[in-house]
Amino acid sequence: MALSEKSSSDVTPPFGSHGAAQLPGVEVTSYNLEVKDKDGFVGDKANGKAFRASIRDWRVHLRDMGKDPFEEDLDAHISKKKLDKFLAEGDADAAAVVQGAIEDFAGNFAHVVKTFTSQKAWREVTHIVVGGGLMEARVGELAIARAGALLRAADKKLEIQPLRHHPDEGGLIGCLHLAPSWIFSGYDGIIAVDIGGSNIRCGMVRHNAKKDANLKKADVCELDLWRHADEDRLGREEAVDRLVKMIRGLIAKAEADKMAVAPFIGIACPGIINADGSIERGVQNLPGKWDSDHFHLPERIREAIPSISGHDTMVVMHNDAVIQGLSERPWMADVPNWAVLTIGTGLGNASFHTRD
């Protein structure tokens, strides 16, 4: 049974188990919750697709009046940078489209938070960290700030704050919190992978434990990003082969720079992760079929890269929202119960309990 459907107080699994509930200093109390209301899955109202659907709806309204300020086709992808520019510098109609979408999204996001905090695993949550690709844009920041205001007006006592790390890096840096302690004294850092519905990111993550033992100074010194959503007819095997190539390239670059690369690869992946490395469900936005009992991504990576720095490679995978949340863990030491929501192609979620 998946973690999202059971208590995470079960027996602590051995170190290195995929999708584990008990991690150093923290318990994952839930992730990938699939909560429904009369309209379907609640999270679908506050993800990247929903925000862009709202932009489209507002443009339709203006088109009916002959005032659509955007040059693009209604279904064309408009970059977050361009949306930010329209908000800051565009004419009144353009700014109104973006502002209307922000207001719609904020209301939907506040509804999602209210619904999630009514669930058993989230009832004690006092702090929510918000990450994901939308948060790298001003429109995302404003939408979440507005949602926070709506929640305060509804007397919901919650601290809502953006992820401290850049969205491209949070899902990589969090992988350090899956790594065994010997890595922090014997190596400079690890290879981390963040698989998303639109992009795959790989990075060389330095722990910088000598500067801060709690990993607050961790950073990504090398980053490789591939937008797989732009590829036509891309299959799972092609995607995995490209991922392996990205990892090998990062290892070679780090070793050429005289960095001590740990024989450890952390993977952040959407969906419910089984202990054997298979994916139960929740990967519908990835190319090909990833939710199969016969496909084990960590094992495939280990077979392709059997050793790093002369030692056998260890590969550990967890849910991407969990790992993005783990990047925030050093700042949550005094917060008993907290959660993360990641706004990407979908809406990722995870909740945590800080252990003494």
Query: pLDDT tens across 112-155, in order?
Result: 999 999 999 999 999 999 999 899 899 999 999 999 999 999 99
Check residue 193 and report its DSSP letter: E
SS3 139: helix
Residues 6+ apart with CB under 8 A from 6: none
Give the model confidence (pLDDT) of 163-191 as tens digits. Answer: 999 988 999 999 999 999 999 999 999 99
For residue 186 the two structure tokens come to 């014997």
Average pLDDT score over residue span 5-34: 73
Are the beta carbons of 221 and 206 closer than 8 angstroms?
yes
pLDDT at 15: 59
Are the beta carbons of 302 and 311 closer than 8 angstroms?
no
pLDDT at 6: 36
One-letter amino acid for residue 228 of the chain: H
pLDDT of 5 > 60? The answer is no
Domains and CATH numbers, the chain: 41-162 (3.30.420), 166-327 (3.30.420.40)
Phi, psi angles (nearest 5°) of residue 130 = -115, 120
- Give the whole-angstrom CA distance, residue 59 versus residue 97: 7
- Give the whole-angstrom CA distance, residue 263 versus residue 180: 11
Residues 6+ apart with CB under 8 A from 35: 41, 42, 43, 115, 116, 119
SS3 10: coil
SS3 279: strand
Give the model confidence (pLDDT) of 201-250 as tens digits. Answer: 999 999 999 999 999 999 999 999 999 988 888 999 999 999 999 999 99
The predicted model scores a pTM of 0.91
Average pLDDT score over residue span 28-51: 92
- For 11, 61, 75, the CA distances from 57, given in Å and listed in that order, are 49, 6, 11
Give the model confidence (pLDDT) of 263-282 as tens digits. Answer: 999 999 999 999 999 999 99
Give the model confidence (pLDDT) of 289-322 as tens digits. Answer: 999 889 999 999 999 999 999 999 999 999 999 9
Farthest CA pair distance, the chain: 67
Residues 6+ apart with CB under 8 A from 247: 191, 193, 202, 265, 301, 305
One-letter amino acid for residue 215 of the chain: L
Phi, psi angles (nearest 5°) of residue 294 = -100, 0
Residues 6+ apart with CB under 8 A from 265: 190, 191, 192, 193, 247, 301, 302, 305, 308, 313, 314, 315, 316
- Give the whole-angstrom CA distance, residue 347 versus residue 128: 14
